Structure 1
Amino acid sequence: MMAAALLVATVGGCSGGGGAGDGAAAQASALLPLTIASANGAHAFRVERAVTPAQQAQGLMYRTDLKPDGGMLFYPYPAEGGAPREASFWMKNTPTPLDILFIRADGMIATIAENTVPFSETPVLSREPVAAVLELVGGRAAELGIAEGDKVTWAK
């Protein structure tokens, strides 16, 4: 399982498990610009990208240094590529509440799990096949008016 991580059996990715801050400095230097177009305008983020199975298993576990305009993008999801599939994340070892946005292959937000519970091992499910998953600081989606059906874009 991945914490704010992906449940491997179901296919998912979220905050998973290494030591506190593992890889944060390396990933910080490669922040990816990402935009979410919502009914009230465009919202810009600079996010880390989880590409490999190890990065997707680690996710944002143990992290307390999250920024309001930051986050983590799991793309391609799953890391092995292929067709979109259902994702399942959990918050084990993740001390910060997260908004988990499940994104379809066309870039539209399928579902949003808002303010996920820190350290919870309860699966957070996409409820449909997705091609990417975006984790933001808990509460940001509601604060910015980001909703299901909004469009997410980034350089692929």
Structure 2
Amino acid sequence: MKKILLILCFTIAFVSCKNDENKKVKTAEIKFTKEGELTLFKVNGDEVVTLDIEFAETDYERETGLMYRTSMEENQGMLFIFSAEFPRNFYMKNTYIPLDIIYLDQHKKIVSFQENAVPLNIEGLPSEIPAMYVLEVNAGLAEKWLLEIGDFISFEKN
């Protein structure tokens, strides 16, 4: 009788463990949420483009950023807002979209770029110069828009 119970328990445990291996946790896709608009300007004040923007203002939002997103439209971006100007270092861990990372100072002027950041790469992408804002857009847009050091942004929240 003990052998039968032991075999029965083993069989139940084996079957239930095997079924758990086949289960995959499905997560909901993270969708873009327009929280405001951001306009990029050339040094001379000429408007370059206006984007729909999401803001990353809390520690959690800044740590997560655009991770786990599978796409972003050309007219969309994420603006990271920090409380002080410091050298920044971003990376692409869990980020599936190639990005241009644009670092801006406390006056919202571009101070440096990391263009065409490779998805899922965990190497640091430093600002090299203190930054208080960081704008992430799809890779290739900084070049397409002919952005340069000294160009600037303005933004407003909804």
TM-score range, shorter chain: 0.7 to 0.9
Alignment of 1:34-53 (within 5 A): 34-38=38-42, 41-53=47-59
Tell me the residue number matched to 1:61. Answer: 67
Contact 1:103–1:131 (CA under 8 A) maintained in structure 2: yes
Tell me the residue number matched to 2:98. Answer: 97
Tell me the residue number matched to 2:29. Answer: 21
Unaligned segments of structure 1, at least 5 residues: 1-18
In the alignment, the residues of structure 2 paired with residue 21 and residue 98 of structure 1 have an alpha-carbon distance, to the nearest angstrom, of 19
In the alignment, the residues of structure 2 paired with residue 121 and residue 32 of structure 1 have an alpha-carbon distance, to the nearest angstrom, of 29
Tell me the SS of whatever aligns to 1:100: strand
Tell me the residue number matched to 2:77. Answer: 71
Tell me the residue number matched to 1:31. Answer: 35
**Larger Rg belongs to:** 2
Aligned-residue CA RMSD in angstroms? Answer: 1.7
Question: Cα deviations across residues 25-71 of structure 1 (Å, max 9, x unaligned)?
Answer: 6xx1x421101112664211111001110011110011122010101
- Which structure is higher in RCO with an 8 Å CA cutoff and minimum separation 6? 1
In the alignment, the residues of structure 1 paired with residue 89 and residue 110 of structure 2 have an alpha-carbon distance, to the nearest angstrom, of 15
Q: Which protein is richer in helix relative to its size?
A: 2
Q: TM-score, normalised by structure 2?
A: 0.75
Alignment of 1:77-116 (within 5 A): 77=82, 81=83, 83-116=84-117
Amino acid at match of 1:64: T
In the alignment, the residues of structure 2 paired with residue 53 and residue 20 of structure 1 have an alpha-carbon distance, to the nearest angstrom, of 22
Identity of aligned residues (%): 32
Contact 2:78–2:135 (CA under 8 A) maintained in structure 1: yes
Q: TM-score, normalised by structure 1?
A: 0.76
Question: Cα deviations across residues 1-27 of structure 1 (Å, max 9, x unaligned)?
Answer: xxxxxxxxxxxxxxxxxx6634x36xx
